[in-house]
Structure 1
């Protein structure tokens, strides 16, 4: 009959379950894998597979009792670290969502919304288009592999049982304004062009008050906005590379990975 001692159970809890909580928290929060498109069971299987692969290279974990206050605190710490890394990636993706919302509002497409299948909320069509675009670019350029690499190295820089990381959480909170700044950088040319178009319509209305500016200006602004978005797609790759490099470097800084 197989008998397990408390030391063996504690070693398994510290060596396998605690890394599993960090990996699972990251997969539950990060974009693409943490969306409603990926079933919960698939995310759990993926977390198990990642832990099995990276487990031989992880540093020794502390032995804890399976049912104790120390184990609960360590689990909470691992969940917070994984959620912190996943939320940092969410900020990067939402910069493009904010850009799409701003463009849609300026060109008059703010009312044209659809259900976002990834988050289950209603978003503008332009914002949904940017979300799909950044998702494809992130996967095509192996961004998910970089995230797994940072996650693996975080077990060395942020070891299990190393204490709560208040500095990282404050840095994450301070970066919330980065989303709006990055979104404005993406849409600044389009917003400037649409502002010029609206100013031209204002001058036309002033010069010819009898002109029905609403029947002419709305479809023309819509068409001009679509043309501007189409022209702006030529530089979207360079903008994505700059923002992705900054976001992934920020992810490394949060995990103290060099």
Structure 2
């Protein structure tokens, strides 16, 4: 008769449960897969499938007692590490959202907003367009496969029970300025062009005060802004490749993967 000790059962459970918490946290928080457009049940099924595939190649897991304090802390650690990986990828998408919001304000389209089906909040239509564009580029360039690769290797570089969660928090905080800077760089030509237009309207108003600048300036600024934005889309791929490379490289640094 086969007899199993509590330690053996705990080790077997930890072999699957602990990686499942980290994988699920990544899928629940990363872009595209972590949005409301993908049902939570589908994300859970995907997490189960990924965990079943990667578990045979993972290093040995520590002893795990689900009802003990150490077991709860191990589960919490995996959730936090996975969530940090997902949030680090969110910064890539938020850079494009910020770029869209700035462009919309400069063009006078800040009131033209819609409900973002991914997050359930009101966003400018320009920002929503850039979000959909970067989501398609992320999938076409196999960004999700890179994330799964880094996630699998993170179990070796950041073993369960030895992950430095506090250090990752400081890394996330240090990257917040990168999001704003990347968003401004994306739409710098549009901002510059609209700034020149606004200066020209200011000179016209000074030279001819009787001119109704609002009836002329608003539609012209809108049309010129859309035109410059459309022309700038021709170079959006190179900007995305650079920002995506930096974001994925930073993800590797977080996971200490080379």
Q: TM-score range by the shorter chain?
A: over 0.9
Work out whether 1:144 is the aligned partner of 2:151.
no
Q: Deviations over 1:189-232 (max 9, x none)?
A: 11000000011111111111111111110001000011011000
Q: Deviations over 1:165-191 (max 9, x none)?
A: 322221111111111000011011110
Tell me, in whole angstroms, the C-alpha distance in 2 between the residues paired with 1:25 and 1:130. Answer: 25
RMSD value, Cα: 1.2
Work out whether 1:114 is the aligned partner of 2:114.
yes
Query: Does the CA-based 8 Å contact 1:9-1:66 persist in structure 2?
Result: no
Greater Cα offset, 5-14 or 226-235 = 5-14
Please give the TM-score of this superposition, normalised by the length of structure 2. Answer: 0.97
2:100 — aligned with what? 100
Tell me, in whole angstroms, the C-alpha distance in 2 between the residues paired with 1:104 and 1:95. Answer: 14
**Which of structure 1's runs of 4+ aligned residues deviate more than 4 A?**
1-4
Q: 1:163 to 1:144 in 2, by over 3 A?
A: closer
Tell me, in whole angstroms, the C-alpha distance in 1 between the residues paired with 2:96 and 2:143. Answer: 16
Q: Deviations over 1:141-175 (max 9, x none)?
A: 00000000000000000001114332222111111
**Would you say how many aligned residue pairs link Structure 1 and Structure 2?**
258
2:194 — aligned with what? 194
Q: Which runs of 5+ in 1 are unaligned?
A: none
Q: Which runs of 5+ in 2 are unaligned?
A: none
Please give the TM-score of this superposition, normalised by the length of structure 1. Answer: 0.97
Query: Does the CA-based 8 Å contact 1:77-1:164 persist in structure 2?
Result: no
Instruction: Using the TM superposition, give the Cα deviation of residue 28 of structure 1 relative to its aligned residue in structure 2, in angstroms.
Output: 0.6
